[in-house]
Amino acid sequence: MKISPFTIITLLMALNLSATSSLQHVVVYQQEGRFAGWPANNGAWMFEGDELLVGFTEAPYRLNPGGHNIGDEADQRSWLARSTDGGNTWRAYDPEHYVGDFGDEPELQPVLEPIDFSAPQFAMRVVGIGYHGSKDPRGHFFISSDGGQDWKGPYGFGDLVHHPELEKYGMTELTPRTDYLVLDRDSALIMVSARIPGEFGTDRLFCLRTSDGGRSFAFSGWVVPPYDPVLSDPDARVPLTDDPALNPHPSKARAVMSQSFLLADGSMVTAMRRRYRDDERGINQNWVDAYRSTDGGHSWKFMAVVGDAGSGNGNPPALNATADGRLCAVFGERENGRILVTYSSDEGRTWTAPFVLRDDFWSEDMETNDLGYPRLFRRSDGKMVALYYFSTRKNPHGIFATIWDPTEH
């Protein structure tokens, strides 16, 4: 009997994978009576000199068994935390002129002067609808040219929500997180997801391109398109199990919360959060997979399942490269309360069994393994820094960093 790579990964995870030996865990932000979460939804950036900046949602703590232990949405704020020493120490703060400061659907400004995407201190924060701190179905973004000290915006994506390719499938709510690739001074590729209004799980991922410094945007191509009975290959399947009948069609599964990486040859790899649910057959599968584009984001091809994101609602990945050229992906696995890392030595075609970065999750309700949503960086000394939200008995409901040497794997 042929066993799929996903089945092998799942079995290895069940065998209590060995943890990395020299791990440094750092508290980025944690305060008694407060909840902090979701770096992947808020974005993270790295600047010269191993300066790191991470966004997160900050709010009052409120026990909510079976859900997020967070207070009312009206009390949630988009915060930042900065490290100037490669993630060893941090300062967290509520920035001015930033996400949430202009209302749920703010008046959007035009970009009058071209954005220099290649500026060394450039940062971009993308906003959509359907997650904490963001309620704008049109999508918008903020930019900074000084490493996130000051922000400008909000700026819009034009009439993107009415693009024919989105309207054809009724996907007129934008649900992007912050994932973009800088191509040159005037050009960038932004990964955006869209969904049918109000229908959770219908998100599909596509590329948006600007070639004029953010003054206009063009639909570049679907990464994972909605299922189309005419255009979709009916035999396509994601290899999650060794039983093809149980494996979902890629376009019938949620595709959202990506992180992308630009390879040396100009091709692009993106890893994303996937979910397939079939209540009639009792199927609820959550995983991370990787796609690649060799034509500037116009077309994408499935490469491999990166890892099993556990039960419940899954978890998004972070993606970067090690100093020796391997791709490195980090994601949360909620079923067992762990942060995992896996590597690819062939640009995303195959991935190692995951290693444990952290497995000491603890929560006050002991029901919800509410964790993960990582971002990932490589320091100048070659060590990796994963940023995520987590909860331990000593430091509950906070933002954490784990620093490690990937040459151990």
pLDDT digits (tens, 9 = 90+) for 234-269: 999 999 988 888 899 999 999 999 999 999 999 999
Residues of the chain above pLDDT 70, percent: 94
The alpha helices in 59-98, defined as continuous H runs, are none
Q: Does 15 have pLDDT greater than 50?
A: no
Q: What's the one-letter identity of residue 295?
A: D
- Lowest-confidence region among 54-58, 194-198, 334-338: 334-338
Residue 19: predicted pLDDT: 53
Q: Does 2 have pLDDT greater than 90?
A: no
Q: Does 11 have pLDDT greater than 50?
A: no
Residue 77 CA to residue 73 CA, distance in Å, equals 9
pTM given for the model: 0.93
Residue 392 CA to residue 402 CA, distance in Å, equals 14
> What would the mean pLDDT of 16-28 be, rounded to a whole number?
75
> What would the mean pLDDT of 212-241 be, rounded to a whole number?
95
What are the C-alpha distances in Å from 319 to residues 78, 141, 288, 322, 341?
Answer: 23, 22, 11, 10, 10
Residue 20: predicted pLDDT: 54
Let me know: does 182 contact 158? Beta carbons within 8 Å: no
Residue 21: predicted pLDDT: 61
Is 368 or 255 the better-scoring residue by pLDDT? Answer: 255
Which two tokens mark 34?
A: 């407060």
Residues in Cβ contact with 264 at an 8 Å cutoff, skipping those fewer than 6 apart: none
Residue 335 CA to residue 312 CA, distance in Å, equals 7
How confident is the model over 307-349, as pLDDT tens digits? 999 877 899 999 999 999 999 999 999 889 999 999 999 999 9
Residues of the chain above pLDDT 90, percent: 82
Q: Does 5 have pLDDT greater than 90?
A: no
> What would the mean pLDDT of 107-111 be, rounded to a whole number?
95
Q: Which of 109, 349, 352, 82 is nearest to 341 (CA)?
A: 352
Neighbour-count burial for 167-196, b at 16+ CB within 10 Å, e otherwise? eebebbbbbbbbbbbebeebbbbbbbbbbb
Residue 10: predicted pLDDT: 47
Identify the helix (H) or strand (E) that includes residue 156.
strand 152-156
> What would the mean pLDDT of 373-382 be, rounded to a whole number?
98
Neighbour-count burial for 266-302, b at 16+ CB within 10 Å, e otherwise? ebbbbbbbbbbbeeeeeeebbbbbbbbbeebbeebeb
- Lowest-confidence region among 1-15, 83-97, 246-260, 298-312: 1-15
Q: Classify 380 as helix, strand or coil.
A: coil
Residue 347 CA to residue 301 CA, distance in Å, equals 13
Is 6 or 356 the better-scoring residue by pLDDT? Answer: 356
- Length of the chain, in residues: 409
Q: Does 176 have pLDDT greater than 70?
A: yes
Which two tokens mark 290?
A: 């990787």
Q: Classify 301 as helix, strand or coil.
A: strand
Q: Does 1 have pLDDT greater than 50?
A: no
- Lowest-confidence region among 63-72, 128-137, 268-277: 128-137
